[in-house]
Structure 1
Amino acid sequence: MTPSTPGSPAWVDLGTADPDDAQRFYSALFGWTAEVSGEYVTFALNGLPVAGAGPLYGVGQPTAWSTYIGTADADEVAARVEAGGGKVLVPPFDVQQQGRMAAFLDPGGAPFSVWQPGTMRGAAVFDVPGALTWNELNTRDLDGSMAFYQSVFGWQFRNSSMSGVPYIVAKVQQTPVCGLQPMLPDMWPDDVGPHWMVYFAVHDCDRAAEHALALGGVVVQPPTTLPIGRYAMLADPQGGLFCILAGRN
């Protein structure tokens, strides 16, 4: 699966209350370099784009990572979102020659975006330490979310529940592209809304979590062993949540 494959996550970026400190934190944590163009920062790993960051534009908007799903037609996706009960927050528009994007809310209230590539295809590297490795929807209506995203992107689904905990893997052309899971009360308080979570790959989850803490971040969920590897949930100094994952070899 490539970032230009329609229906596959293609890009992530951070809306942050402090872009300068975001550059400091994430560059030190993941070994990224930053290229600044106006108010937007493109992060690169070994010279290849992996993620972006920009300032907050809405009053009271929290620092958060956004997931962009690749599409061949952002306008068609916008029509499907409305037909499926979602909301168009930002109608499709051109980002110079780089591509075309739009921002939405799914019916449960989780924000997500789409990217129709132009000269900028999306992230150029995945699944290596310092790069995006997984995207995951946390939802309070698992069945409704599956129906919505199937109607918008044509995803197929596989039940990967383990130990009684529901987990759904979404697939495009039989290739896993992201996950969906219910927001269990013991993990997500009522005041946290549905959202997309981003996972970045790391060599060593425990060391990366310690490094994030030393850089001023917060360890929200300590390193935990899962069947796919060892993961932790972190927050950057401005409160932006993200996960790290050291996969099993």
Structure 2
Amino acid sequence: MLTSTHVPGGPAWLDLGTPDIDAAVAFYGGLFGWEFRSAGPDAGGYGFFLKDGKAAAGLGPLMEEGSRPSWTVYFRTEDADATADAVQRAGGSVRFPPMDVLTAGRMAGFTDPAGAEFAVWQPGDTDGLEAVNDPGSVSWIELYSTDAAAATEFYRKVFGWDTRDMGMGEGLSYTIAGPAGGGEKRMHGGLMQLPEENMQRGSTSEWHPYFEAENCDTTLARAEELGATTIVPAMDAAGVGRLAMVLDPFGAPFAVIRSAVH
């Protein structure tokens, strides 16, 4: 569960880049009951997904040349410019430099050394996510990486994350991460090495969100009805919950989960 959304280094925001705003609104509205509110005529089509009136995520058109439909995770920072410097010192790259979003805050986009894209949010008038952990809102984030060890070290350097390695059996490992000094009660995500067979099939490094569900199987079935493609069928993970992963109708990956602990 997300317990660090208002802490530096924790997930602060989440948005979807898509080629069809109206179709995305219909899909996610039908799946999670989200409503869409435009950010206004000067926002370039950007707007907000609301769950019971609270900001659950953002939505906008694809803006970068060659970009593909995907969810972007934003981590909270107190100084976006300093974080941009830290990213480059740690071996990452800047996709777009720090920029002001009117008076809402300051943002920047980066790529880690293994190729996963992410962003940061320096709050102004807009603090960040309002709906988390409840059904229909994000409750976990996860990185699949072509080099999980290097990625873990990178995020430690940039955000000072505390990390803890967890054995998964069969030679697999999973790293749990949270903001510096938060301990086990302040964990927000996981990092996992992509298996060799996945990389041979073309899988690349990526962050993706987990959205909480009242019932994983029912939500998965509904996603398929609305045009999603299942890539990981519903399965139980001991101590974690029941989860599944899909591609939305345009290919953006995300997961749904009925968490074991609420």
TM-score, shorter chain, exceeding 0.5: yes
Is contact 1:4–1:117 with CA below 8 Å preserved after alignment? no
Rounded to whole Å, the distance in 1 between the matches of 2:122 and 2:83 is: 10
Question: What's the RMSD between the two structures over aligned residues?
Answer: 1.3
Unaligned runs of 5+ in 1: none
Partner of 2:214: 203
> Could you say which residue in structure 2 is the equivalent of 1:11?
13
1:42-82 alpha-carbon deviations (Å, 9 max, x no partner): 00111000101100123432110001001111111000001
What is the percent sequence identity of the aligned residues? 38
1:165 aligns with 2:194: no
Counterpart for residue 154 of structure 1: 160
Measured in 2, the distance between the counterparts of 1:91 and 1:49 equals: 25
Aligned to 2:226: 215
1:25 pairs, out of 15, 24, 27, with 27
Specify the alignment match of 1:98 in structure 2. Answer: 104
CA 1:58–1:90: 2 relative to 1, 3 Å: closer
Are the counterparts in 1 of residues 28 and 34 from structure 2 also a CA contact under 8 Å? Answer: yes
Cα deviation, 1:154-173, whole Å, max 9, x if unaligned, reads 01111112223210001222
2:4 and 2:188 in contact (8 A); partners too: no
TM-score, structure 1 as length reference: 0.96
SS of 2:196's equivalent in the other structure is coil
User: CA 1:199/1:142 → structure 2, altered by over 3 Å: closer, same or farther?
Assistant: same
The AA in structure 2 aligned to 1:167 is: Y
How many Å separate the matches in 1 of 2:124 and 2:199?
Answer: 37
Within the candidate set 52, 56, 59, 2:62 is matched to 56
CA change 1:19–1:189 in 2 (3 A) is farther
Query: What is the CA-CA distance between 1:193 and the residue it aligns to?
Result: 1.5
1:70-219 to structure 2, matched below 5 A, reads 70-163=76-169, 164-172=171-179, 173-174=182-183, 175-219=186-230
Once the two structures are superposed, what CA deviation does each residue of 1:91-120 show, in whole Å capped at 9, x if it has no partner?
A: 101000101000001111111000011111
Say which of 235, 238, 241 aligns to 2:250. Answer: 238
Q: Unaligned stretches of 5+ in structure 2?
A: none
Once residues 4 and 157 of structure 1 are traced to their aligned partners in structure 2, the CA distance between those partners, rounded to angstroms, is 18
CA distance in structure 2 between the partners assigned to 1:27 and 1:189 by the alignment = 35
Aligned residue identity for 1:9: P
Give the TM-score normalised by structure 2: 0.92
Q: Do the aligned residues in 1 keep the contact of 2:4 with 2:178 (CA within 8 Å)?
A: no
Aligned letter for 2:17? Answer: G
Q: For this pair of structures, how many residues does the alignment match?
A: 249
CA deviations 1:174-215 (Å, max 9, x no partner) are 111211000013445442211111111001010001001111
| Aligned-partner residue type, residue 34 of structure 2 | W
